[in-house]
Amino acid sequence: MTFMELLKTVVFDDVWTELEKEYSMIDEAFEAYFKVFNQLKSLMPEPNHYGMRLAVARIEDGLEPGTYTYDVFGIKPGDNEHYALELLPWSELLSFEVIEKCVEAYSAAVVVAHSLYELTFLGYDAADVEANIKNEINILKERSKEIENGTAEFVSWDEVCKDIGYVDERTEEEKELQNKQFERINAENKKVYEMLLS
């Protein structure tokens, strides 16, 4: 089932319930997401030339153990890379096949809700998002040229921390414990991905 087909199987109230539960939403967000939901259903899906599939996985946050978040990404057949969707025109996502195990594990409304949240990273209107994508791509091209021609200014991590006033006050034992916890979380999350993508 494509994302467009999945959209047509859910009612917005169920999608909104999930958005409100998982994210800190302001009052105006309901109208914004309702508009996005309806606009997506009115767009013409563009062909999916790469056979991309849409995946949604509930995983533990490595930076906040015990907290869970939803990872929304694209994946190509035969490729284990997870592709971000923020710089993707909405009409392209509509033709992605949705991984059925994600819908079975979480529900259609949950998959749609977290996909909408991901898609609105750069705006709440398809045309605005496409303009913002072009702008971001131009910025990336400029930075790439700066790196290639040697005019880029590189800043060390230590300098960044100093500039923002961050001091890591953890003991070596605390750092080791946190690293082990991070490794455990990554191993558990890997199992979730394998279950959904197998």
Tokens of 169: 């006050």
pTM here is 0.90
At 194 the pLDDT is 95
Give the C-alpha distances (Å, rounded to integers) separating 118 from 72, 91, 168.
Answer: 7, 14, 31
At 10 the pLDDT is 98
Q: What is the pLDDT of residues 17-40, one digit of tens each?
A: 999 999 988 888 999 999 999 999
At 24 the pLDDT is 83
Please list, in sequence order, all residues whose beta carbon lies within 8 angstroms of the beta carbon of residue 98, skipping any fewer than 6 positions away.
1, 2, 3, 6, 53, 54, 111
Helix (H, G, I), strand (E, B) or coil at 177: helix
What's the mean per-residue pLDDT of the chain?
A: 95
At 69 the pLDDT is 96
Q: At 34, give phi and psi (nearest 5°).
A: -65, -40
Instruction: Encode the chain (198 residues) as per-residue pLDDT tens digits.
Output: 999 999 999 999 999 999 999 998 888 899 999 999 999 999 999 999 999 999 999 999 998 999 999 999 999 998 989 999 999 999 999 999 999 999 999 999 999 999 999 999 999 999 999 999 999 999 999 999 999 999 998 999 999 999 999 999 999 999 999 999 999 999 999 999 999 998
